[in-house]
Amino acid sequence: MTTRVTLGIDPGIAIVGYAVVAEERSQLSLRVCNVITTEPSDAFEVRLSKIFHGLSDIIAQFHPDDVAVEELFFARNTRTAIAVGQGRGVALLAAAEAGLKISEYTPMQIKQAVQGYGSATKHQVGEMVRILLGLSQVPKPDDAADAAAIAICHLHSSKTSMLR
């Protein structure tokens, strides 16, 4: 049986969560789960470059089969939405440059796939990530745990869509 490896990305500009999750014979395992951070004092283009190169390095090291990214939803702060959107664009570019298929999921889809409830709390999702990956504790920081949830969502969702 083939192992399928997915890179989950929780986009941002100050903190980008990433997690590489593998699935073999319906068993999930975590390969890496961490964050890329940028300094607010750095020029914006430097921050974007750090995200791009950080994700490109992760892709080169772990060779994922595909990438799953959270869709953005901002109702209030336009400035934050634009900055995070640019960080998200750089994440998509890193995946595209590597020739990887990209799938996007809303926060509700991610919560539904991981916890079974679209309005689940961050704590509930983190705990299910811990259980599904057989970890002793929830990955930290939250952005890393969110990236793992995004990867799990993709692995579960794409399996379901193949059955249709």
Q: Which residues are catalytic?
A: 10, 70, 143
CA 20 – CA 42 distance, rounded (Å)? 27
DSSP string, 113-158: HHHS-TT--HHHHHHHHHHHTT-SS--SSHHHHHHHHHHHHHHHHH
Phi, psi of 73 (to 5 degrees): -140, 115
Q: What is the Cα 94 distance to its own chain's centre?
A: 13
